[in-house]
Chain A
Amino acid sequence: MAKAYDHLFKLLLIGDSGVGKTCLIIRFAEDNFNNTYISTIGIDFKIRTVDIEGKKIKLQVWDTAGQERFKTITTAYYRGAMGIILVYDITDEKSFENIQNWMKSIKENASAGVERLLLGNKCDMEAKRKVQKEQADKAFSSLARDILLKSGGRRSGNGNKPPSTDLKTCDKKNTNKCSLG
């Protein structure tokens, strides 16, 4: 197989169950949104190739199951990940509180210099927002390299505002860092 890319990055998606990790990644990789998602059991994979500064970057995204119980399984997949995307649901405080735990798992299981990215999902449900952006900024400002982005997992109304654009930018930063480091 010819190498169709310049860099290959493994990204990992973690976060509580139901925060929309799979939605996010499907949106990112396939650019479509579907309301009927199935819970991820174990792990799922998506690939997307992006162009960054003229280089073809192939992103392998490992989408993990969110249930606490599966953590023992999924932590095995942290190894080798170059970027880890932590996802929480802005309408669900608990998923945000749990980010701390996920951070801990990263510390324990991932490679040392791994890039992290915090994403608040479901921004289309602004009315139900429980986690303020400032909160997130504040809580994780110490993680200097974290970038906070909010992405709406679903399209709001008729306007298709894919989070993929947001995601792309974060991935860009992410991958850039990865490639630097």
Chain B
Amino acid sequence: MVGPEDAGACSGRNPKLLPVPAPDPVGQDRKVIRATGGFGGGVGAVEPPEEADEEEEADEEEETPPRQLLQRYLAAAGEQLEPGLCYCPLPAGQAGAPPPSAAPRSDACLLGSGSKHRGAEVADGRAPRHEGMTNGDSGFLPGRDCRDLEEARGLARAGGRESRRRRPYGRLRLEGPGDEDADGAGSPSDWASPLEDPLRSCCLVAADAQEPEGAGSDSGDSPASSCSSSEDSEQRGVGAGGPEEGAPPATSAERTNGGAEPRLGFSDIHFNSRNTFQVSRGQSARDHLPPAGPPVPLPAAEQGPAGASARARRSGGFADFFTRNLFPKRTKELKSVVHSAPGWKLFGKVPPRENLQKTSKIIQQEYEARTGRTCKPPPQSSRRKNFEFEPLSTTALILEDRPSNLPAKSVEEALRHRQEYDEMVAEAKKREIKEAHKRKRIMKERFKQEENIASAMVIWINEILPNWEVMRSTRRVRELWWQGLPPSVRGKVWSLAVGNELNITPELYEIFLSRAKERWKSFSETSSENDTEGVSVADREASLELIKLDISRTFPSLYIFQKGGPYHDVLHSILGAYTCYRPDVGYVQGMSFIAAVLILNLEEADAFIAFANLLNKPCQLAFFRVDHSMMLKYFATFEVFFEENLSKLFLHFKSYSLTPDIYLIDWIFTLYSKSLPLDLACRVWDVFCRDGEEFLFRTGLGILRLYEDILLQMDFIHIAQFLTKLPEDITSEKLFSCIAAIQMQNSTKKWTQVFASVMKDIKEGDKNSSPALKS
């Protein structure tokens, strides 16, 4: 199918390094055109394919922005790149001072992009069955793009100075029409578009990152990778052709992805990034990496052998990085990135293989022309519109004709391949639709939830809070309460529910706080010469030290209580003031979590008041004073209800002599704020404020019930490990339905009554309930 022109044209341009058949300009152009047609309306950035010819010029024009980017990036990430590896050494004059912001990010970017890249490759090579190939590709592509662009840039700029270095990678790219397009397209206004930002930065980074990788590691790698990338892009391009003409890119992307998983969206973005990339280049790497989707496998089959193997080779930890570092941080950008999906012209840039270059449409046309009949092109193309995302890569292998130097497929074979392809597409579509529905449903639920919260908030604010004492125990309020408090009133309700038996005022808090501050001061001044006062002083100091240590270990993932974080000092103050207020209790590990949760919901003084009063409740006092016998009683009472509610599991635990202290200590000390996801913990706190200590134990039983089936299969150590580190995906619906199913009524006795009788029993000398706690 490949026109002779293709082969000829390409060869000149293609670097030898690429194990790919020479790309042909014509093919590229065609492809480009198609792509443009498909996406064209949407992206302003995308230039008409014709511009490809002007690539060089375009490059020159646009040089500056990308360069600066690169420079900044390099400056920032300088340590990471091997000096020799940096392509595009920039003229000194051009190296503007990197914006301060750029530096820290760029590191991240580097890492991310590199990993992304790799991950993508790996994925590609590895997991053919995933529909997600796009993702993988996308991850891969951006790097490519950037590189290309950069190279192009560099070329234009440096006037071949750096060309040597660049070459190994992506020579191809430079020449590809896509590049040109992009370059030409990169009108300043486009760059400015905010949407592009993340993409841009990503690309840039990717490009940089790629460098060291390719150059540094195995030389063989880079060519292979570039080749594969080009393939990918090609495939993409093919797919891209599908999207309806005139549809704005964003829309099409969204449509296909359905706003679905970030990954999908992301992937789209990526390929698009070829075009976009350029556009965005102009700006700084401000946004660095867009969240990379987990590397989604591209069907291996589709890759050229070289590409596949290269990818396979590269597998490894990079995928991890990718998901770990990039993804979580930048989820928000997904959307914007999606919007930026421009056209597919860029693919033209990277015309590695002849066959790859063709878009499906072209292939179809050719096919038709050859077979002399129309092979349901219209439906197909329309169908494909919806699929740009995935089947693209598939297309390449299945639909494309063989390279011109190989015998062409027989008609049957071509037909069969087409049919197979159609099936794959149909399946992919089905999956997509299913996922879209699911997403829709989830969104609906979320909206509903939000609405509920909003309406509940109104009720709380307008009706309940003003009449707190009257309404707090009404059935309606209790029910509403169980649903979870709206975050906006949560702190208020907690305060009211916990009360202030201790009559602490904000002024009192200030007094204790200043006392604490004095103590810290004197402590730091006389840290070495205070052995005079004996143990108690040493103990108190240890307490102060421990507070410092623990603050940084409180919700470390939130980064708000750590040193330099917004609530670090508040947390420190509250804990310090408390140790002055209640020297008899002092600071006990676990308190920092309770204080932190309160700080998240209340003002400082109110948080302190709630904190002190909360810790003054009998159960908390028993635990934080580490009052053994009292703790034993709580455990014993818990076991009564445990046996009542979950007798099978109870016996199972008994058979391993697994006592409740092993898991309950952590749960009760921190009121679940350490063991459950924070939002869920807050919901537990809500009802804990309503129902009191009993609910803490009920929650514990709810957790056991939720995981009963799993726990029944485990032995001692696994149960212990499981319960001291609960799964993170625990959801509030499930947990609360389990908690609701726990009856806190032992025959006719309620928690308090059972507790009272346990107290009595123990007093009477029955001392062997929780053996682990006996000492």
- Write the residues of chain A forming the contact surface with B, with a CB cutoff of 8 angstroms: 1, 17-18, 35-47, 60, 65, 67-70, 72-73, 75-77, 109
Contact = CB atoms under 8 A, between A and B. Distances in A.
Contact of A47 (B557, B674, B721, B775): B721
B665 A41 contact: yes
B546 A17 contact: yes
A165 B434 CA distance: 48
Contacts of A40: 589
B401 to A, nearest CB: 48
Q: A38, A42, A68: which has the most chain B beta carbons within 10 Å?
A: A42
Contacts of B775: 72, 75-76, 109
A44 B724 contact: yes
A18 B725 CA distance: 19
B649 to A, nearest CB: 16
B662 interface: yes
A46 B553 contact: no
Contact of B774 (A39, A42, A46, A76): A76
B724 A38 contact: no
B717 A43 contact: no
Contact of A46 (B554, B589, B631, B721): B721
Contact of B549 (A18, A35, A42, A46): A18
16 contacts: A1-B713, A1-B715, A18-B546, A36-B553, A36-B556, A39-B589, A43-B662, A43-B666, A44-B724, A47-B721, A67-B588, A73-B631, A75-B775, A76-B772, A77-B772, A109-B775
Interface of B: 539, 542, 546, 549-550, 553-554, 556-557, 586, 588-590, 592, 626, 628, 631, 661-662, 665-666, 669-670, 674, 713, 715, 717-718, 720-721, 724-725, 772-775
- Please provide the 3 A-B residue pairs with the shortest distance between their CB atoms, ordered closest to farther: A42-B665, A36-B556, A45-B721
A72 B539 contact: no
Contacts of B772: 76-77
A43 B725 CA distance: 11
Contacts of B588: 67, 69
A40 B553 CA distance: 10
B775 to A, nearest CB: 5
A68 B589 contact: no
A18 B553 CA distance: 10
B60 to A, nearest CB: 39
Nearest to A98: B542
Contacts of A47: 717-718, 721
A37 B628 contact: no
B181 to A, nearest CB: 40
A100 B550 CA distance: 24
Nearest to B771: A76
Contacts of B666: 41-43
B78 to A, nearest CB: 15
A75 B773 CA distance: 9
B674 A38 contact: yes
A73 B626 contact: yes
Nearest to A36: B556
Contact of A72 (B550, B590, B626, B721): B626
Given A38-B556, A41-B589, A60 B669 contact: no
B707 to A, nearest CB: 16
Contacts of A68: 539, 542
Determine which residue in B542, B670, B717 has the highest number of CB atoms from chain A within 10 A of its CB, and name it. Answer: B717
Contacts of B592: 39
B631 to A, nearest CB: 8
B559 to A, nearest CB: 9
A111 B665 CA distance: 24
Contacts of A37: 553, 556
Contacts of B674: 38, 41
B549 A17 contact: yes
A42 B589 CA distance: 9
A61 to B, nearest CB: 9
Nearest to A67: B589
Contacts of A35: 556
B422 to A, nearest CB: 45
Given A17-B589, A38-B556, A67-B588, A45 B665 contact: no
B549 to A, nearest CB: 4
Contact of A39 (B553, B665, B721): B553
Contacts of A41: 589-590, 665-666, 669-670, 674
A69 B628 CA distance: 11
Nearest to A78: B775
Nearest to B669: A41
Given A18-B546, A18-B549, A41-B589, A76 B721 contact: no
A42 B720 CA distance: 12
Given A42-B665, A42-B666, A65-B589, 9 more contacts: A39-B589, A43-B662, A43-B720, A47-B718, A68-B539, A68-B542, A69-B586, A72-B628, A72-B775
Contacts of B586: 69
B590 to A, nearest CB: 5
Given A45-B717, A109-B775, A39 B550 contact: yes
Nearest to B541: A94
Given A67-B589, A72-B775, A76-B772, A44 B718 contact: no
A104 to B, nearest CB: 14
Most buried by B among A17, A45, A75, A77: A45
A76 B775 CA distance: 6
Contacts of A1: 713, 715
A67 B546 contact: yes
A76 B661 CA distance: 10
Contacts of A72: 626, 628, 775
A46 B549 CA distance: 23
B673 to A, nearest CB: 11
Contacts of B553: 36-39
Contacts of A76: 661, 772-775
B543 to A, nearest CB: 9
A178 B549 CA distance: 35
Contact of A42 (B546, B554, B661, B725): B661
A76 B556 CA distance: 29
B539 A73 contact: no
Nearest to B556: A36
B550 A73 contact: no
Nearest to A37: B553
A66 to B, nearest CB: 8
Q: Which of B549, B715, B775 has the most CB of A within 10 A?
A: B775
Nearest to B555: A38
Contacts of A17: 546, 549-550, 589
A40 B670 CA distance: 11
A65 B669 CA distance: 12
Nearest to A79: B772
A170 B665 CA distance: 30
A21 to B, nearest CB: 12
B724 A43 contact: yes
A18 B588 CA distance: 14
B720 A45 contact: yes
Nearest to A22: B553
A65 B546 CA distance: 12
A44 B626 CA distance: 18
A44 B631 CA distance: 19
B626 A43 contact: no
Contacts of B670: 41
A36 B557 contact: yes
B665 A60 contact: no
A81 B775 CA distance: 15
Contacts of A67: 546, 588-589
A123 B336 CA distance: 46
A65 B665 CA distance: 11
Nearest to A17: B546
Contacts of A42: 661-662, 665-666, 669, 724
A75 B586 CA distance: 21
Given A68-B539, A69-B588, A69-B626, A44 B725 contact: yes
Nearest to B715: A1
A69 B713 CA distance: 34
